[in-house]
Chains A and B, each alone.
Chain A
Amino acid sequence: MNPYQPPNPYQQQYPQQYPQQPPYQPPSYEFGEAENSIIKSCATWTMVLGIIQILEGASKLFGEGKSTLNLIVHVAMGVLLIVASQSLTKVVTTQGQDIPHLMKALDNFGQVLLIRIILLVFALIIAVIAVVAILAVLAAIAH
Protein backbone atom coordinates (compact mmCIF):
# COMPACT_ATOMS: atom_id res chain seq x y z
CA MET A 1 0.00 0.00 0.00
CA ASN A 2 1.34 3.45 -0.96
CA PRO A 3 1.78 5.52 2.23
CA TYR A 4 1.69 8.82 0.26
CA GLN A 5 -1.58 8.30 -1.53
CA PRO A 6 -4.52 10.55 -0.52
CA PRO A 7 -7.02 9.03 1.91
CA ASN A 8 -9.92 7.25 0.33
CA PRO A 9 -13.14 9.00 1.44
CA TYR A 10 -15.20 5.83 0.87
CA GLN A 11 -12.94 3.80 3.09
CA GLN A 12 -13.60 6.19 5.97
CA GLN A 13 -17.31 6.16 5.28
CA TYR A 14 -17.55 2.37 4.97
CA PRO A 15 -14.45 1.16 6.83
CA GLN A 16 -15.28 -2.53 7.28
CA GLN A 17 -18.05 -3.17 4.81
CA TYR A 18 -18.07 -5.78 2.05
CA PRO A 19 -21.30 -4.89 0.23
CA GLN A 20 -21.40 -8.10 -1.81
CA GLN A 21 -21.59 -10.28 1.28
CA PRO A 22 -24.69 -10.60 3.43
CA PRO A 23 -24.22 -11.77 7.04
CA TYR A 24 -22.69 -15.21 7.35
CA GLN A 25 -25.08 -18.08 7.89
CA PRO A 26 -23.67 -21.27 9.43
CA PRO A 27 -23.86 -24.35 7.24
CA SER A 28 -26.91 -26.49 7.78
CA TYR A 29 -26.45 -30.23 7.89
CA GLU A 30 -29.11 -32.87 7.48
CA PHE A 31 -28.53 -36.34 8.90
CA GLY A 32 -29.17 -39.23 6.52
CA GLU A 33 -31.69 -42.03 6.95
CA ALA A 34 -29.30 -44.41 8.76
CA GLU A 35 -28.19 -41.66 11.13
CA ASN A 36 -31.81 -40.63 11.81
CA SER A 37 -32.57 -44.24 12.76
CA ILE A 38 -29.79 -44.23 15.39
CA ILE A 39 -30.93 -40.84 16.72
CA LYS A 40 -34.57 -42.00 16.84
CA SER A 41 -33.60 -45.05 18.89
CA CYS A 42 -31.61 -42.82 21.26
CA ALA A 43 -34.63 -40.48 21.57
CA THR A 44 -36.91 -43.39 22.49
CA TRP A 45 -34.68 -44.77 25.23
CA THR A 46 -33.95 -41.28 26.54
CA MET A 47 -37.70 -40.74 26.90
CA VAL A 48 -38.11 -44.12 28.67
CA LEU A 49 -35.29 -43.33 31.10
CA GLY A 50 -36.71 -39.84 31.72
CA ILE A 51 -40.13 -41.27 32.62
CA ILE A 52 -38.48 -43.89 34.88
CA GLN A 53 -36.52 -41.13 36.66
CA ILE A 54 -39.74 -39.21 37.34
CA LEU A 55 -41.50 -42.39 38.56
CA GLU A 56 -38.51 -43.13 40.79
CA GLY A 57 -38.73 -39.60 42.18
CA ALA A 58 -42.46 -39.97 42.78
CA SER A 59 -41.84 -43.26 44.64
CA LYS A 60 -39.66 -41.33 47.11
CA LEU A 61 -42.81 -39.61 48.37
CA PHE A 62 -44.11 -42.88 49.80
CA GLY A 63 -42.79 -45.40 52.33
CA GLU A 64 -40.40 -44.87 55.21
CA GLY A 65 -37.61 -43.04 53.40
CA LYS A 66 -39.62 -40.02 52.23
CA SER A 67 -37.40 -37.33 50.75
CA THR A 68 -38.45 -34.14 48.99
CA LEU A 69 -34.86 -33.45 47.89
CA ASN A 70 -34.71 -36.88 46.27
CA LEU A 71 -37.99 -36.15 44.49
CA ILE A 72 -36.74 -32.80 43.17
CA VAL A 73 -33.43 -34.24 41.92
CA HIS A 74 -35.09 -37.22 40.19
CA VAL A 75 -37.80 -35.07 38.60
CA ALA A 76 -35.15 -32.57 37.42
CA MET A 77 -33.13 -35.36 35.79
CA GLY A 78 -36.30 -36.85 34.29
CA VAL A 79 -37.37 -33.52 32.80
CA LEU A 80 -33.87 -32.91 31.37
CA LEU A 81 -33.93 -36.35 29.74
CA ILE A 82 -37.42 -35.80 28.30
CA VAL A 83 -36.36 -32.42 26.88
CA ALA A 84 -33.25 -34.11 25.39
CA SER A 85 -35.49 -36.77 23.87
CA GLN A 86 -37.72 -34.11 22.30
CA SER A 87 -34.68 -32.35 20.83
CA LEU A 88 -33.47 -35.65 19.34
CA THR A 89 -36.94 -36.27 17.90
CA LYS A 90 -36.78 -32.81 16.29
CA VAL A 91 -33.45 -33.78 14.68
CA VAL A 92 -35.31 -36.59 12.92
CA THR A 93 -38.61 -34.86 12.16
CA THR A 94 -37.51 -31.34 11.18
CA GLN A 95 -35.12 -29.97 8.56
CA GLY A 96 -32.47 -27.23 8.61
CA GLN A 97 -31.72 -27.25 12.35
CA ASP A 98 -30.35 -30.76 12.96
CA ILE A 99 -27.06 -29.71 14.55
CA PRO A 100 -28.53 -27.10 16.97
CA HIS A 101 -31.17 -29.63 18.10
CA LEU A 102 -28.48 -32.30 18.57
CA MET A 103 -26.31 -29.89 20.56
CA LYS A 104 -29.24 -29.02 22.82
CA ALA A 105 -29.85 -32.72 23.48
CA LEU A 106 -26.15 -33.36 24.23
CA ASP A 107 -26.08 -30.38 26.58
CA ASN A 108 -29.05 -31.82 28.50
CA PHE A 109 -27.35 -35.24 28.68
CA GLY A 110 -24.28 -33.53 30.07
CA GLN A 111 -26.34 -31.80 32.75
CA VAL A 112 -27.94 -35.10 33.80
CA LEU A 113 -24.51 -36.75 34.09
CA LEU A 114 -23.19 -33.77 36.07
CA ILE A 115 -26.10 -34.07 38.54
CA ARG A 116 -25.36 -37.80 38.92
CA ILE A 117 -21.66 -37.19 39.54
CA ILE A 118 -22.39 -34.44 42.11
CA LEU A 119 -24.89 -36.72 43.91
CA LEU A 120 -22.32 -39.50 44.00
CA VAL A 121 -19.67 -37.18 45.45
CA PHE A 122 -22.16 -36.07 48.14
CA ALA A 123 -23.02 -39.70 48.88
CA LEU A 124 -19.33 -40.56 49.18
CA ILE A 125 -18.71 -37.64 51.56
CA ILE A 126 -21.67 -38.71 53.73
CA ALA A 127 -20.47 -42.34 53.67
CA VAL A 128 -16.94 -41.33 54.72
CA ILE A 129 -18.34 -39.15 57.55
CA ALA A 130 -20.57 -42.04 58.68
CA VAL A 131 -17.65 -44.53 58.68
CA VAL A 132 -15.43 -42.08 60.62
CA ALA A 133 -18.24 -41.48 63.14
CA ILE A 134 -18.80 -45.23 63.61
CA LEU A 135 -15.05 -45.82 64.08
CA ALA A 136 -14.90 -42.97 66.59
CA VAL A 137 -17.81 -44.43 68.57
CA LEU A 138 -16.22 -47.90 68.50
CA ALA A 139 -12.90 -46.46 69.66
CA ALA A 140 -14.64 -44.60 72.48
CA ILE A 141 -16.42 -47.80 73.58
CA ALA A 142 -13.14 -49.77 73.49
CA HIS A 143 -11.49 -47.24 75.78
Chain B
Amino acid sequence: MQQQWQPGPYGQPGYPQGGYAPPPAAGGAYEFSQMENTTIGRLGSRAKTWGICSIVIGLILLVLGVVVIIAAPGEAALPVGGVIAVAALQPVVSGGFYMAAGGAFKNVVDTQGNDVPHMMDAMKKLTNAMRVESIVALLAIVGAVIFGVVLAASH
Protein backbone atom coordinates (compact mmCIF):
# COMPACT_ATOMS: atom_id res chain seq x y z
CA MET B 1 0.00 0.00 0.00
CA GLN B 2 1.32 3.39 -0.89
CA GLN B 3 2.15 5.68 2.00
CA GLN B 4 0.16 8.91 2.15
CA TRP B 5 2.15 12.09 1.62
CA GLN B 6 1.69 14.12 4.81
CA PRO B 7 3.15 17.51 5.76
CA GLY B 8 6.24 17.25 7.94
CA PRO B 9 6.57 18.79 11.40
CA TYR B 10 8.72 21.75 10.29
CA GLY B 11 6.53 23.01 7.49
CA GLN B 12 8.20 20.69 5.05
CA PRO B 13 6.46 17.84 3.29
CA GLY B 14 6.70 14.35 4.76
CA TYR B 15 9.39 11.72 5.21
CA PRO B 16 11.39 14.03 7.47
CA GLN B 17 13.60 11.51 9.26
CA GLY B 18 16.89 11.15 7.52
CA GLY B 19 15.51 13.05 4.53
CA TYR B 20 14.09 9.88 3.01
CA ALA B 21 12.97 10.47 -0.56
CA PRO B 22 10.24 8.08 -1.69
CA PRO B 23 10.94 5.86 -4.67
CA PRO B 24 9.06 6.68 -7.88
CA ALA B 25 5.58 5.24 -7.70
CA ALA B 26 3.92 3.73 -10.74
CA GLY B 27 0.24 4.72 -10.79
CA GLY B 28 -1.41 5.24 -7.42
CA ALA B 29 -2.60 8.46 -5.78
CA TYR B 30 -0.92 11.77 -6.34
CA GLU B 31 -2.07 15.20 -5.26
CA PHE B 32 -0.89 18.08 -7.42
CA SER B 33 0.81 20.93 -5.54
CA GLN B 34 -0.56 24.46 -5.39
CA MET B 35 1.78 25.66 -8.14
CA GLU B 36 0.84 22.74 -10.37
CA ASN B 37 -2.85 23.37 -9.65
CA THR B 38 -2.38 26.99 -10.81
CA THR B 39 -1.04 25.80 -14.18
CA ILE B 40 -3.80 23.19 -14.51
CA GLY B 41 -6.54 25.63 -13.46
CA ARG B 42 -5.33 28.24 -15.95
CA LEU B 43 -5.35 25.68 -18.75
CA GLY B 44 -8.83 24.54 -17.67
CA SER B 45 -10.22 28.08 -17.84
CA ARG B 46 -8.66 28.70 -21.25
CA ALA B 47 -9.86 25.36 -22.61
CA LYS B 48 -13.41 26.13 -21.44
CA THR B 49 -13.31 29.66 -22.90
CA TRP B 50 -11.94 28.40 -26.20
CA GLY B 51 -14.54 25.61 -26.26
CA ILE B 52 -17.38 28.12 -25.84
CA CYS B 53 -15.87 30.41 -28.53
CA SER B 54 -15.45 27.45 -30.86
CA ILE B 55 -19.06 26.31 -30.42
CA VAL B 56 -20.35 29.87 -31.02
CA ILE B 57 -18.23 30.14 -34.21
CA GLY B 58 -19.57 26.77 -35.37
CA LEU B 59 -23.19 27.74 -34.71
CA ILE B 60 -22.74 31.05 -36.59
CA LEU B 61 -21.27 29.14 -39.55
CA LEU B 62 -24.13 26.64 -39.40
CA VAL B 63 -26.74 29.42 -39.51
CA LEU B 64 -24.79 31.07 -42.35
CA GLY B 65 -24.78 27.80 -44.30
CA VAL B 66 -28.53 27.35 -43.87
CA VAL B 67 -29.17 30.98 -44.87
CA VAL B 68 -27.07 30.53 -48.02
CA ILE B 69 -28.99 27.35 -48.92
CA ILE B 70 -32.38 29.01 -48.39
CA ALA B 71 -31.80 32.58 -49.54
CA ALA B 72 -28.97 32.58 -52.09
CA PRO B 73 -30.03 32.42 -55.74
CA GLY B 74 -28.57 30.01 -58.30
CA GLU B 75 -27.54 26.37 -58.42
CA ALA B 76 -24.36 26.95 -56.41
CA ALA B 77 -26.36 27.85 -53.28
CA LEU B 78 -26.90 24.25 -52.18
CA PRO B 79 -23.28 23.00 -52.50
CA VAL B 80 -21.78 26.22 -51.08
CA GLY B 81 -24.25 26.37 -48.19
CA GLY B 82 -23.81 22.64 -47.62
CA VAL B 83 -20.02 22.94 -47.42
CA ILE B 84 -20.32 25.83 -44.93
CA ALA B 85 -22.81 23.88 -42.80
CA VAL B 86 -20.64 20.74 -42.80
CA ALA B 87 -17.52 22.79 -42.02
CA ALA B 88 -19.40 24.22 -39.03
CA LEU B 89 -19.51 20.77 -37.44
CA GLN B 90 -15.76 20.75 -36.71
CA PRO B 91 -15.71 23.78 -34.37
CA VAL B 92 -18.91 22.57 -32.68
CA VAL B 93 -17.55 19.06 -32.03
CA SER B 94 -13.99 20.08 -31.06
CA GLY B 95 -15.42 22.96 -28.99
CA GLY B 96 -17.48 20.44 -27.04
CA PHE B 97 -14.36 18.39 -26.34
CA TYR B 98 -12.40 21.50 -25.30
CA MET B 99 -15.18 22.46 -22.89
CA ALA B 100 -15.25 18.94 -21.45
CA ALA B 101 -11.45 18.93 -21.11
CA GLY B 102 -11.64 22.30 -19.33
CA GLY B 103 -14.18 20.86 -16.89
CA ALA B 104 -11.96 17.84 -16.21
CA PHE B 105 -8.92 20.08 -15.62
CA LYS B 106 -11.05 22.08 -13.16
CA ASN B 107 -11.94 18.82 -11.41
CA VAL B 108 -8.22 18.12 -10.91
CA VAL B 109 -7.90 21.43 -9.08
CA ASP B 110 -11.20 21.38 -7.16
CA THR B 111 -11.23 17.79 -5.90
CA GLN B 112 -8.88 15.71 -3.80
CA GLY B 113 -7.90 12.06 -4.00
CA ASN B 114 -8.55 11.55 -7.71
CA ASP B 115 -6.18 13.99 -9.36
CA VAL B 116 -4.53 11.49 -11.71
CA PRO B 117 -7.80 9.93 -13.01
CA HIS B 118 -9.23 13.43 -13.58
CA MET B 119 -6.02 14.46 -15.35
CA MET B 120 -6.17 11.39 -17.60
CA ASP B 121 -9.84 12.15 -18.37
CA ALA B 122 -8.87 15.70 -19.32
CA MET B 123 -5.97 14.46 -21.48
CA LYS B 124 -8.33 12.07 -23.32
CA LYS B 125 -10.78 14.89 -24.08
CA LEU B 126 -8.00 17.24 -25.14
CA THR B 127 -6.68 14.49 -27.44
CA ASN B 128 -10.16 14.05 -28.95
CA ALA B 129 -10.44 17.79 -29.61
CA MET B 130 -7.04 17.84 -31.32
CA ARG B 131 -7.84 14.64 -33.25
CA VAL B 132 -11.04 16.18 -34.67
CA GLU B 133 -9.21 19.41 -35.57
CA SER B 134 -6.30 17.54 -37.19
CA ILE B 135 -8.45 15.15 -39.25
CA VAL B 136 -10.66 17.97 -40.55
CA ALA B 137 -7.58 20.10 -41.36
CA LEU B 138 -5.93 17.17 -43.16
CA LEU B 139 -9.12 16.53 -45.16
CA ALA B 140 -9.26 20.25 -46.04
CA ILE B 141 -5.61 20.16 -47.19
CA VAL B 142 -6.22 17.04 -49.32
CA GLY B 143 -9.42 18.59 -50.72
CA ALA B 144 -7.61 21.83 -51.57
CA VAL B 145 -4.81 19.92 -53.32
CA ILE B 146 -7.32 17.83 -55.36
CA PHE B 147 -9.29 20.99 -56.21
CA GLY B 148 -6.07 22.73 -57.29
CA VAL B 149 -5.01 19.78 -59.47
CA VAL B 150 -8.46 19.54 -61.10
CA LEU B 151 -8.50 23.31 -61.69
CA ALA B 152 -5.01 23.21 -63.22
CA ALA B 153 -5.94 20.25 -65.44
CA SER B 154 -9.12 21.98 -66.69
CA HIS B 155 -7.09 24.98 -67.86
A and B form one complex: yes
* Bound: A31/B32 CA distance, A: 13
CB within 8 Å for A27 and B53 given contacts A21-B12, A56-B137: no
The segment from B72-80, B81-89, B122-130 that touches chain A is: B122-130
**Interface residues in A90-122 (C-beta closer than 8 Å to B):** 95-96, 99, 102-103, 106-107, 109-110, 113-114, 116-117, 120
* Contact present for A42 and B127 (CB under 8 Å): yes
Chain B residues contacting A30 (CB-CB under 8 Å) are 24-27
Closest chain B CB from A75 CB (angstroms): 15
* Contact present for B27 and A31 (CB under 8 Å): yes
CB within 8 Å for A27 and B134 given contacts A41-B127, A106-B43: no
Chain A residues contacting B46 (CB-CB under 8 Å) are 110, 113-114, 117
Chain B residues contacting A109 (CB-CB under 8 Å) are 43, 47, 126
Chain A residues contacting B5 (CB-CB under 8 Å) are 27
**What are some 30 contacts across the A-B interface (CB < 8 A)?**
A20-B18, A21-B18, A25-B19, A28-B21, A29-B24, A30-B25, A30-B27, A33-B26, A35-B27, A35-B116, A42-B123, A45-B134, A48-B134, A52-B133, A52-B134, A52-B137, A52-B138, A55-B141, A56-B137, A99-B32, A99-B36, A106-B43, A109-B43, A110-B42, A113-B43, A116-B50, A116-B53, A117-B46, A117-B50, A120-B53
Closest chain A CB from B3 CB (angstroms): 10
User: CB-nearest residue of chain B relative to A114?
Assistant: B46
Residue count of chain B within 8 Å CB distance of chain A:
43
* Contact present for B123 and A39 (CB under 8 Å): yes
**Interface residues in A14-32 (C-beta closer than 8 Å to B):** 18, 20-32
* Bound: A125/B124 CA distance, A: 33
Say what secondary structure dominates the interface of chain B.
Answer: helix
B interface, CB within 8 angstroms of A: 5, 10, 12-13, 16-19, 21-22, 24-28, 30, 32-33, 36, 39-40, 42-43, 46-47, 49-50, 53, 57, 116, 119-120, 123-124, 126-127, 130-131, 133-134, 137-138, 141
Closest chain A CB from B25 CB (angstroms): 6
* Bound: A26/B13 CA distance, A: 8
Question: Is the interface on chain A under 10, 10 to 19, 20 to 34, or 35 or more residues?
Answer: 35 or more
